[in-house]
């Protein structure tokens, strides 16, 4: 599974039903993914905008049309990444709770969150950057862009908004600073106007989860959020992220149209605690309808694709040993569990019923 194989029959190595092999193989060669089962106009439009063709075809997701604009914003992903990689951060304001996070102004018409490496979460910046790069491979463009940065501690301290000096004084002892007086930070695109979504609550989430079960009737006003919740469940399983439903990690825009996938400082644990793994398996077991496009990308993902994507971030590339030895094995093992689940459902209910979203 770790080497590149010819795209025309790469899908044969994964145990999905024959019908899925045929559909995914020819669609992947054509560079498009069909809509699958009938889907409402709004859902089809919103999904066709952000998704990209699989990066295994050699496309450059930074310039691909489907990755042009970050969903719900006026800014291109390429512009955002470029600014996050080179901008000076000013007027820093602490906003985090469990993590050390600073909101920052930039040399641009948008802002950033700086998530700093800390004593309790030393890998938080790296896991945020790695999660973003995996999302790029899978075409999940509602994960905000992230660039790993190294910053002089003194410059960060001097850039703190004077109105928040006292709060910084409480956080500063937690920050990890290296022998060169530098700190590591994930520079993350700041999404303006975030709102908690109703599905953040356990009881409010149940009607949407019900839509993801076979045999349930899908109303027009539930389809879009159900599809995004399905994507979120897939991504969290691949990340090994059991922290989604704590705090304010399930948020969207004012309209409630977008579910933004953010906050991944607990992802990619070397060894998942049994209770976390059980929770993730339970969550994916509640999902019986998936995006055809997303499952195709999960199916086609190789280690080489992921590695080529993470090398786009120079500081993340410097952690290639961690990524190859700790991150990739877990992602691929959890990917196998996901595809086994999808296969079993397809055999029981039929491919079109299971791959119900574009």
pLDDT, average across residues 240-246:
81
At residue 21 the predicted structure's pLDDT band, cuts being 50, 70 and 90, is: very low
Does the pLDDT of residue 55 top 50, yes or no?
A: no
Lookup: tokens for 216? 């349930």
Does the pLDDT of residue 68 top 90, yes or no?
A: no
The pLDDT of residue 160 is 98
Name 179's Cβ contacts closer than 8 Å, sequence gap at least 6: none
- Structural domain boundaries of the chain? 7-60+194-354, 77-189
Give me the sheet containing 195-196, strands edge to edge: 195-196, 250-252, 259-261
Which phi and psi (to 5°) does residue 261 adopt? -100, 105
When comparing pLDDT for 204 and 12, which is higher? 204
Residue 175 CA to residue 197 CA, distance in Å, equals: 31
pLDDT, average across residues 305-316:
95
What SS3 class is residue 189?
A: strand
Lookup: tokens for 289? 């309808």
Which segment of 95-99, 304-308, 350-354 scores lowest on mean pLDDT? Answer: 95-99
Strand partners, 92: 160
The mean predicted confidence, pLDDT, of the chain is 81
Q: Residue 256: left if φ>0, alpha if ψ -120 to 50, beta else—which one?
A: left
**DSSP assignment letter at 350:** -
Are 175 and 100 in contact, with CB atoms under 8 Å apart? yes
Name 41's Cβ contacts closer than 8 Å, sequence gap at least 6: none
Are 213 and 226 in contact, with CB atoms under 8 Å apart? no
pLDDT, average across residues 156-171:
96
The pLDDT of residue 253 is 86
The pLDDT of residue 270 is 75
When comparing pLDDT for 244 and 132, which is higher? 132
Does the pLDDT of residue 176 top 60, yes or no?
A: yes
Structure-derived torsion over alpha carbons of residues 79, 85, 88, 90, reported in degrees to the nearest 10:
80
Is pTM, for the whole model, over 0.85?
no
Q: Would the CA dihedral through 301, 44, 190, 261 be positive or negative? A: negative
pLDDT, average across residues 63-82:
80
Angle CA(72)–CA(284)–CA(135) in degrees, nearest 5? Answer: 40
Does the pLDDT of residue 288 top 60, yes or no?
A: yes
Does the pLDDT of residue 3 top 50, yes or no?
A: no
Most confident of 17-31, 93-107, 170-184, 212-226: 170-184
Does the pLDDT of residue 163 top 60, yes or no?
A: yes
The pLDDT of residue 318 is 95
Which segment of 13-17, 167-171, 242-246, 305-309 scores lowest on mean pLDDT? Answer: 13-17
Are 251 and 262 in contact, with CB atoms under 8 Å apart? yes
Q: Which residue has the tokens 């969290």?
A: 236
Which segment of 28-37, 173-182, 190-199 scores lowest on mean pLDDT? Answer: 28-37
The pLDDT of residue 18 is 40
Strand partners, 259: 252
Q: Residue 274: left if φ>0, alpha if ψ -120 to 50, beta else—which one?
A: alpha
Does the pLDDT of residue 124 top 80, yes or no?
A: yes
In this prediction, what percent of the chain has a pLDDT beyond 90?
Answer: 61
Chain-centre distance for alpha carbon 14: 23
Residue 310 CA to residue 314 CA, distance in Å, equals: 8
Neighbouring C-beta atoms of residue 239, cutoff 10 Å? 26
């Amino acid at each position: 599974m770790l080497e590149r194989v010819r795209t025309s029959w790469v899908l044969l190595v994964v145990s999905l039903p024959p019908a899925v092999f045929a559909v995914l193989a020819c669609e992947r060669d054509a560079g498009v993914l069909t809509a699958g089962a009938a889907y409402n106009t709004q859902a089809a439009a919103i999904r066709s905008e952000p998704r990209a063709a699989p990066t295994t075809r050699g496309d450059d997701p930074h310039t691909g049309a489907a990755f042009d604009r970050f969903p719900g914003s006026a800014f291109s992903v390429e512009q955002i990444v470029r600014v996050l990689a080179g901008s000076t951060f000013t007027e820093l304001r602490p906003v985090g709770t469990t993590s050390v996070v600073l909101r920052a102004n930039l040399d641009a018409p948008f802002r950033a969150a700086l998530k700093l490496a800390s004593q309790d979460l030393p890998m938080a910046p790296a896991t945020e950057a790695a999660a973003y790069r995996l999302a790029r491979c899978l075409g999940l463009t509602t994960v905000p862009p992230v660039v790993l940065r190294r910053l002089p501690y003194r410059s960060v301290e001097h850039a703190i908004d004077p109105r928040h000096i006292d709060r910084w004084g409480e956080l500063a002892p937690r920050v990890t600073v290296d022998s060169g007086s530098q700190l590591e930070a994930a520079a993350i695109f700041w999404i303006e106007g975030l709102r908690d979504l109703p599905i953040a609550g356990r009881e409010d989430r149940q009607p949407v989860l019900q839509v993801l079960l076979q045999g349930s009737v899908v109303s027009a006003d539930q389809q879009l959020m159900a599809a995004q919740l399905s994507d979120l469940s897939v991504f969290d399983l691949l990340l090994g992220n059991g922290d989604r439903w704590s705090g304010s990690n399930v948020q969207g825009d004012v309209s409630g149209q977008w579910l933004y996938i953010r906050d991944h400082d607990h992802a990619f644990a070397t060894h998942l605690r049994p209770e976390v793994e059980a929770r993730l398996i339970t969550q994916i077991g509640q999902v019986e309808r998936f995006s055809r496009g997303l499952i195709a990308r999960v199916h086609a993902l190789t280690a080489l694709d992921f590695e080529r994507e993470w090398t786009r971030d120079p500081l993340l590339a410097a952690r290639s040993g961690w990524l190859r030895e700790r991150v990739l094995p877990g992602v691929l093992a959890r990917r196998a569990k996901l595809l086994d689940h999808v296969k079993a459902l397809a055999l029981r209910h039929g491919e079109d019923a299971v791959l119900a979203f574009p």
